[in-house]
Amino acid sequence: MFPVTEQYVESQYIKNKVPIRLSNKLQTEIVDKATKVLNLYNHGMKNIIFPNVNKILEQLL
């Protein structure tokens, strides 16, 4: 998991000329899990995410 901003997303993923979309259920699951991990990270569990999230986010913004 790593931070990304909208400006770094170039286009939608397309396979065989068909845009690939995640189901709403999968989208929700990914967001929920990412939120839980970020909450743990922000509350002191720094070894749960290996990249330096704060430094990457600073450079992206």
Confidence check: pLDDT of 1 > 70? no
Q: What is the value of pTM for the model shown? A: 0.61
Q: CA-to-CA distance for 33 and 38, rounded, in angstroms?
A: 9
pLDDT tens-digit readout, 39-61: 888 898 878 777 777 788 788 77
Query: Using H for helix, E for strand and C for coil, what is the string for the chain?
Result: CCCCCHHHCCCCCEECCEECCCCHHHHHHHHHHHHHHHHHHHCCCHHHCCCCHHHHHHHHC
Average the pLDDT over 28-47 and give the result. Answer: 87
